[in-house]
Amino acid sequence: MRKQIVAGNWKMNNDLAETQELLSHIKMQLVKKPEAEVMVAPSFTNLYSTFEALKDTPIKVAAQNMHQSKSGAFTGEISASMLKSIGVTTVILGHSERRAHFHETNDILAEKVNTAIENDMEVIFCFGEELQDRKSDKHFEVVEKQLKESLYQISEDAWSKVILAYEPVWAIGTGETASPEQAQEMHAFIRKNIAENFNEEIAENVSILYGGSVKPNNAKEIFAKKDVDGGLIGGASLKATDFIALVNSF
Ligand code: PEP
């Protein structure tokens, strides 16, 4: 049985005090053991304090990015071993904001994925088409290319370390959500594509999250779809009541 997951991507929001406050509200409101695996991804400066604050909870901590190299002259960057040294073993890679604003190409992302896997880290791999791709009916093609060029080089064994997050760029932070049917259609396509390029077992076991303006009022319907295994949440993860409502949306 594949895992259901709700992961909050806090992006470049919240300083130390704000992060601690959000965490204490989340902890207070998480009254029952969640059915889904829950993760939060704070900024780098808040990773360690978040990890410490969540030690006695089932909530996992993820990084929002990391560099593909082991170490060296990469001013401003963070390596896999740095993350692991503070207990963080999950990393989000390929978020559309990293692709758009920081020029992360499919090739760079392939290197990042390989580095994460070599370091035995779990990867939340994000991908998804832009609005013009969907309008010109190229969304399946674009998604397949992103997967083939950045992810399909990994070994069969490495798939146990991979979580997919399908995030149509036109739905991120826009208030525009893919309909549950659109999400299901793409998730089913992704699973079939993995089965064709790897095998049925891998395809069945990988969790595929949906991301793009998921809110408490639309989550249940989206998460109920057969091939949707939860969500990667931006905006709504910054408010404890909304985030916990999403965690309880299965
Ligand atoms: C995201 O940033 O991954 C995301 C899905 O954002 P939002 O939920 O705000 O659309």
- pLDDT digit string, tens, across residues 44-59: 999 999 999 999 999 9
Q: How far apart are CA 183 and CA 230, in angstroms?
A: 11
Exposed/middle/buried for 157, CB within 10 Å: 0-12, 13-18, 19+? exposed
Cβ pair 61, 50 in contact under 8 A: yes
For the chain, the first-to-last Cα distance in angstroms comes to: 15
pLDDT in tens, 78-110: 999 999 999 999 999 999 999 999 999 999 999
Nearest CA to ligand 1 atom 8: 234
Tell me if 213 CB under 6 Å of ligand 1.
Answer: yes
Domain ranges within the chain, ordered by starting residue: 5-247
For residue 199, the number of C-alpha atoms closer than 13 Å in the C-beta half-sphere is 5
Binding residues for substrate: 9-11, 173, 213, 234-235
Nearest CA to ligand 1 atom 2: 234
pLDDT in tens, 174-188: 988 999 999 999 999
Of the pLDDT bands very low, low, confident and very high (cuts 50, 70, 90), residue 199 is very high
Q: How far apart are CA 194 and CA 203, in angstroms?
A: 5
Classified as helix, coil or strand, 166 is strand
Statement: residue 211 has pLDDT above 90:
yes
Q: Give the number of the atom of ligand 1 that is nearest the alpha carbon of residue 213.
A: 10
Torsion of CA 243, 2, 34, 93, to 10 degrees: -40
**How many of the other CB atoms lie within 10 Å of CB of 142?**
19
pLDDT of residue 176: 87
Q: How far apart are CA 58 and CA 49, in angstroms?
A: 16
pLDDT of residue 22: 98
Nearest CA to ligand 1 atom 4: 234
Topology classification of domain 5-247: TIM Barrel (3.20.20)
Greatest Cα pair distance, the chain, in angstroms, is 48
Which residues are 229's β-sheet partners?
none
| Percent of the residues in the chain that have a pLDDT greater than 70, as a whole number | 100
**How many of the other CB atoms lie within 10 Å of CB of 102?**
10
pLDDT of residue 64: 98
Q: Which of 131, 167, 177 to mutate to test the pocket of ligand 1 (most atoms within 8 A of CB)?
A: 167
Which residue has tokens 């997919």?
Answer: 164
